[in-house]
Structure 1
Amino acid sequence: MTGERDGQVSRRVWTIPNVLSMLRLALVPVFLVLLVLGEYVGALVVLVVASLSDLADGYLARRLNQVTRLGQLLDPAADRLYIFAALLGLAAGGLVPWWIVVVIVARDVFLLILGVVLASHGYGPLPVHQLGKVATFALFFGLPVIMLGLAFPSVQPVSEPVGWAITLWGAFLYWWAGIIYAIETARAVRAARVAPRP
């Protein structure tokens, strides 16, 4: 408990924020199935619940001093899984083109490769860049706005172009952040090569 009291990252597993993150992850397949079945209202309800739990676990982690290593992994993982599930579900129904799925997934594969390169040179993962957070938020917001028009056709003339604008901007920022990560990785690798060996 000492690490939590002084604001350090804990190794605990069973904390309230972590349980909320686990529940959010458990809802991902429910969200995907509802999307594939065309139950857009139900899918939006699940997404709203997941988003509220995301806000709650972040708030509680800070408020209760329960920031954990597991939570730091679960939170971004859940965000990405919801984005992938939304993309796959909408693409499977022919509602978004598959190229947007490839663009988003390829960026995360690219980051995975960068992570392997960093690990091979003795580095851990790079800190999350603010631009990456903005990109994830744009995707996490834009795709549900597209879904909103599918759930409620009366708002589709407005929600669809707005949702697409936010989603495409998010995809652009997603790759821009990826390029920044690549530059930082290259700097780290160069530093490791010129560092004196013991």
Structure 2
Amino acid sequence: MRVLTVPNLISFARLLLVPVFALLLARGQDGWALAVLAGSGASDWLDGVLARRMGQVSRLGQMLDPAADRLFIVVTLVALALREIVPWWLLGVLALRDVVLAVMLVVLARAGYAPLPVHLAGKAGTFALLYAFPLLLLAEWDSWLGTVAGVAGWAFALWGVALYWFSAVLYLAQARELLRDDPIDAPDPA
């Protein structure tokens, strides 16, 4: 397995940007934090495109990319909730979904299954959330741009939550089918 591929290096760089982003938010340097978040979002798209075009899709990349997404989402949500830009329920709803899916992954792993392939709904939900957060941060600016960003940010956030949970339902249904058809659970013919 090739580890040092261009897409993997981009994903790793995104992981390294998470603490930088958190520090910028904590210091109130919202402009720089927005730039890091926007760069991370663009590189999220770029690493996937490059992996497919260069034939460098790897299991490591398939783990690094969603890990960077999750970390950015969690760090951003916690920071925005601490600054009272978003309500705590938003963090709770998204965290609950990830806990449910983490339990599902443990159950699948115990039955000998690998993690399920990513659904388009999950990618779309992540995409919407990663667009929502910079817009919600931008909404703090006292201008017409802040007002427009707030409306667009909440639209992306609510669609992101809906798609995030819709994908969770899809994953749970897929896991149920796998486990139901599992020959381990089938009655012994003897």
Normalised by the length of structure 2, the TM-score is 0.91
Contact 1:31 1:43 in 2 (8 A): yes
- The answer for the alignment partner of 1:32 in structure 2 is 22
- The answer for the alignment partner of 1:168 in structure 2 is 158
- The answer for the alignment partner of 1:136 in structure 2 is 126
Of residues 61, 66, 77 in structure 1, which corresponds to 2:51? 61
User: 1:31-50 to 2 correspondence within 5 Å?
Assistant: 31-50=21-40
Which amino acid is 2:186 matched to?
A: V
Using the TM superposition, give the Cα deviation of residue 195 of structure 1 relative to its aligned residue in structure 2, in angstroms: 7.2
* Matched pairs, number: 188
Q: Judging changes above 3 Å, is the alpha-carbon distance between structure 1 residues 181 and 21 closer, same or farther for their aligned structure 2 residues? A: same
Name the SS of the counterpart of 1:27 in structure 2: helix
Matched, 1:89 2:79: yes
Q: C-alpha offsets along residues 124-154 of structure 1, whole Å, 9 cap, x if unaligned? A: 1111111111111111111111112225644
Matched, 1:145 2:143: no
Rounded Cα–Cα distance in structure 2 between residues aligned with 1:133 and 1:26 = 21
- The answer for the alignment partner of 2:149 in structure 1 is 159
Rounded Cα–Cα distance in structure 2 between residues aligned with 1:128 and 1:114 = 14
Contact 2:38 2:134 in 1 (8 A): no
Contact 2:129 2:157 in 1 (8 A): yes
Rounded Cα–Cα distance in structure 1 between residues aligned with 2:31 and 2:59 = 34
Normalised by the length of structure 1, the TM-score is 0.87
Of residues 100, 119, 139 in structure 1, which corresponds to 2:109? 119
Contact 1:91 1:97 in 2 (8 A): yes
Gaps of 5+ in 1: 1-10
- The answer for the alignment partner of 1:194 in structure 2 is 186
Superposition RMSD in Å: 1.9
Which amino acid is 1:35 matched to?
A: L
Name the SS of the counterpart of 2:157 in structure 1: helix
Rounded Cα–Cα distance in structure 2 between residues aligned with 1:66 and 1:182 = 29
Q: Judging changes above 3 Å, is the alpha-carbon distance between structure 1 residues 30 and 195 closer, same or farther for their aligned structure 2 residues? A: farther
Rounded Cα–Cα distance in structure 2 between residues aligned with 1:110 and 1:42 = 34
Which amino acid is 1:104 matched to?
A: L
Using the TM superposition, give the Cα deviation of residue 69 of structure 1 relative to its aligned residue in structure 2, in angstroms: 1.2
Rounded Cα–Cα distance in structure 2 between residues aligned with 1:100 and 1:43 = 20
% identical aligned pairs:
46
Using the TM superposition, give the Cα deviation of residue 157 of structure 1 relative to its aligned residue in structure 2, in angstroms: 1.5
Contact 2:85 2:137 in 1 (8 A): no
- The answer for the alignment partner of 2:168 in structure 1 is 178
Which amino acid is 1:100 matched to?
A: L
Single out whichever of 49-58 and 115-124 deviates more from structure 2: 49-58
Contact 1:40 1:151 in 2 (8 A): no
Name the SS of the counterpart of 1:38 in structure 2: coil
Rounded Cα–Cα distance in structure 2 between residues aligned with 1:59 and 1:126 = 21
